[in-house]
Amino acid sequence: MLDLFIVLFLINGMSGKNTIRIPKQERSRETKLSIINAGLKLFSEKGFYKTNSKEIAREAGVSIGSFYMYFTDKKALFREVLVDYHRKIKNVVETIEIQKFAQTGKVKAFLHYLINKLIEAHNIYPQFHQEVSVMAQSDPNISKIIENSKRESIEITKAMLFAWKDTLRIKDIDAAAILVQTSTEELVHTLMFSKCKVSGERIINELTEMLFRYLF
């Protein structure tokens, strides 16, 4: 559930080290956002190493000088794009209606809904998600961001499980949070990025059943 939960309470402190200034005027904010959006598009389509700063500036409709007013280099931009990518996912997952399901006690329906929301969130530039995984292998800063995010997501998963504590069959919520977060993340990634002979809906149904039987 990495990309599901990190965006609920995460997104912090990744950009301050690498950006040269924080825009205060609306026009400056729009310029910076244009560069971020252009970076997301090109990093997704071409990858980090096959994209250069001039291409990003051209895609954003700004001069190369404007690019360097906001970012020291394209790696600084990549980290900022990662923050913005998480914000975009946040816009999806914030629509999850946890309370509605909790009040009605429809646990299995909630799990099924949750998995589909995870998949929907991953559909936001899935190629960028893959590029982040590649970059994490060579950039310790990005790897650290991902590890910190995973720890955050496990904590939030634990908090969600605790909200259902009166109906849970498992006793060790700490261990269960790790198991649920990791297994769900991997299966969603399999659905999104691997070719499966079994249909996605069948896998979603079985994952729902697996989580339900394990937890409840």
pLDDT, one tens digit per residue, over 101-111 is 766 668 888 88
- Mean pLDDT for the stretch of residues 175-199: 85
Which comes out higher in pLDDT, residue 8 or 64? 64
Q: What is the assigned CATH class of domain 2-215?
A: mainly alpha
- Residue 41 above 90 pLDDT? yes
In sign, the C-alpha dihedral spanning 44, 45, 48, 51 is negative
Paired strand residues for 71: 19
Q: Identify the weakest region by mean pLDDT among 45-49, 124-128, 182-186.
A: 124-128
pLDDT over 90 at 213, yes or no:
yes
Task: Write down the H helix ranges in 15-125.
Answer: 26-46, 53-60, 64-70, 74-93, 98-104, 107-122
pTM over 0.75: no
User: pLDDT-based confidence at 142, cuts 50/70/90?
Assistant: confident
The average pLDDT across 157-172 equals 85
Sorted by where each begins, the domain ranges of the chain are: 2-215
Q: Band the pLDDT of 13: cuts 50, 70, 90.
A: very low
Looking at residue 137, what is its pLDDT? 86
Percent of the chain at pLDDT above 90? 34
Secondary structure percentages of the chain, helix, strand, coil, to 5 = 75, 0, 25
- Average pLDDT estimate for 56-75: 95
Under the banding of pLDDT at 50, 70 and 90, the label for residue 64 is very high
Higher pLDDT, 50 or 122: 50
pLDDT averaged over the chain?
81
Token pair of 126 as six digits: 């899935």
Angle between helices 140-163 and 2-9 (to 10 degrees): 90
**184: phi then psi, degrees, rounded to nearest 5:** -70, -40
Q: What pLDDT sits at residue 154? A: 81
